[in-house]
Amino acid sequence: MGRMFVLVPGAGGSGWIWHLVVARLQAAGHNAIAVDLPGDDETAGLREYADLIVKAVETAETAGTTDDVVLVAQSLGGLSAPLTCDRLPVSRIILVNAMIPAPGETGGDWWANTGQEQARRDNDRAQGRDPDAEFDLGVYFFHDVPQDLTDYAMAHGSPQSGAVFGLPWPLPAWPDVPTRALAGADDRFFPADFQARVARDRLGLDVERLPGGHLNALSRPDELTKALLE
């Protein structure tokens, strides 16, 4: 019987973004798995994502029994990971630069409801970027990620389908599970102050600020792993 860290990716669904953190958790003696989700599948919505997260845990359990799951959800993973809490022995949820949904809200409405676009634009102006420039993945996601990892991600990444954004978030409330919210201090896509406001308003949580940007699992894996283990 033991603890398992289950790491859920954001848009595109590639569990690869967690590979550096998985290696560090395992080196520290913990069980850890990264889930792959079908980001490019237009037929897969949040419920299908949740099913795949549960299946990944059940498959991993063939190597050992787990009675303590720590769900770690990055970005878009914040919509799907909580849907598994009624089927897995989840002891805590850790959000990493994650979307925090409201009951009945679609993922598509989340952006306007939370004011993400305005927060991004305000942060761009404050940091000297043109908020009206063409959206650049390098600027908002990979600005602090090592070049070799950026090159791999760009070559192997998948698009994100719109299916997960169309249906209302199905839970009546956030799961009754202890939850932490970690925010990259240099996140340009979900600025840290924006994350702090959403976490406070929706879950009554204070965010814990960490070094790095939106993909700090790739850019600052040591600091993120340490935070997950606290």
CB 27 within 8 A of CB 62: no
Structure tokens belonging to residue 16:
């690869």
10 Å CB burial of residue 125 (0-12, 13-18, 19+) is exposed
pLDDT at 62: 54
Structure tokens belonging to residue 227:
């935070």
pTM exceeds 0.75: yes
Rg (CA), the chain: 17
44 φ, ψ to 5°?
A: -100, 120
Q: Residue 149 belongs to what domain range?
A: 2-229
pLDDT at 39: 84
CATH of the domain at 102: 3.40.50.1820
84 φ, ψ to 5°?
A: -100, -5
CB 5 within 8 A of CB 68: no
pLDDT at 63: 54
Structure tokens belonging to residue 207:
């965010």
Number of domains present in the structure of the chain:
1
Per-residue confidence of the chain (230 residues) as pLDDT tens digits?
Answer: 568 999 999 999 999 999 999 999 999 999 999 999 998 888 899 999 999 999 999 988 655 567 899 999 999 999 999 999 999 999 999 999 999 999 999 999 999 999 999 999 999 999 999 999 999 999 999 999 999 999 999 999 888 999 999 999 999 999 999 999 999 999 999 999 999 999 999 999 999 999 999 999 999 999 999 999 99
CA proximity to 146, closest of 220, 74, 75: 220
What angle (nearest 5°) sits at the alpha carbon of residue 81, between those of residues 159 and 102?
A: 95
Q: Residue 63, Cα to own-chain centre: how many angstroms?
A: 26
What angle (nearest 5°) sits at the alpha carbon of residue 81, between those of residues 110 and 175?
A: 85
